[in-house]
Amino acid sequence: MKTSLLLALAVCLGVFSVMADALEIPTAVLERHQASCPDFTSPERGEYLLKESFTLPGSEYSPKTKTLYLIGCEMYAYNSLEKAYIVDSYGQVTNVSVVEVGSEGSLTATSDLMGAGFDLETLTLGTFSKGRGMGDCGSNATYKYDSKIEKFVLIEARLKEACDGLETDWPLVYKK
């Protein structure tokens, strides 16, 4: 039974790595990403920790679709750092920046997306960062893509700064 599960996992991981390798990332995106994450994006290594692309909808003002690229930058013990880029139909690249809610409600713009993932069905980008391995502190946020302004808008943020050994829900610090 264990062998079958391990084999199934290996096959799945192999399929995902082939799918990730097959993704063609535009040169302009790669150049921008290499400037931000030189240790993890050297052409010699050919390694990108996460490579995904998604088609974003157009709007009545800009009906052409855009492509979102989510690419890994750094990997830590229990967190990962990704960068995201939006490419329009003319090849223009824009770094994705989002708002982070910090202690005491402070707001900061950042292009560093911790533990990022995108849900195409809901057009939401999620971030997740543990303060330490057991998960008793950290932050997470959800952003919705707004095609009218062509940006990700903060919908909800949770933050627990005290690493107190209690694995409770992190407090809600922002809700739109």
Q: What is the pLDDT of residue 37?
A: 85
Q: What is the pLDDT of residue 18?
A: 34
Q: Is residue 161 part of a domain?
A: yes
pLDDT tens series, the chain, 176 aa:
333 333 333 333 333 333 344 578 899 998 898 888 877 656 555 565 668 999 999 878 778 889 999 998 888 888 989 999 999 999 999 999 999 988 777 899 999 999 999 999 999 999 999 988 888 889 999 999 999 898 999 999 999 988 888 878 889 999 99
User: In the numeric block, which tokens belong to residue 31?
Assistant: 């150049």
67/52 Cα distance (integer angstroms): 10
The edge-to-edge listing of strands for the beta sheet with 172-175 is 117-119, 124-130, 138-146, 151-160, 172-175
3-state secondary structure of 64: coil
Rounded-to-5 percentages of helix, strand, coil across the chain: 20, 40, 40
Q: Is residue 42 part of a domain?
A: yes
Q: Is residue 79 part of a domain?
A: yes
Under DSSP, the state recorded for 60 is S
Q: What is the mean pLDDT of the chain?
A: 82
Q: Is residue 91 part of a domain?
A: yes
User: In the numeric block, which tokens belong to residue 52?
Assistant: 């995904």
Q: Is residue 138 part of a domain?
A: yes
Q: How far is CA 39 from CA 36, 49, 112, 126, in A?
A: 9, 11, 15, 24
User: In the numeric block, which tokens belong to residue 163?
Assistant: 């690493």
Burial class (CB in 10 A: 0-12, 13-18, 19+), 25: middle
Containing domain of residue 131, as a range?
A: 25-175
User: In the numeric block, which tokens belong to residue 162?
Assistant: 């005290």
Q: Is residue 157 part of a domain?
A: yes
Output the pTM of the full model: 0.81
Q: Residue 115's closest CA among 138, 97, 144?
A: 138
Q: Is residue 76 part of a domain?
A: yes
Q: Is residue 67 part of a domain?
A: yes
Facing residues of 118 across strands?
Answer: 125
Count of structural domains, the chain? 1
User: In the numeric block, which tokens belong to residue 168?
Assistant: 């409770």
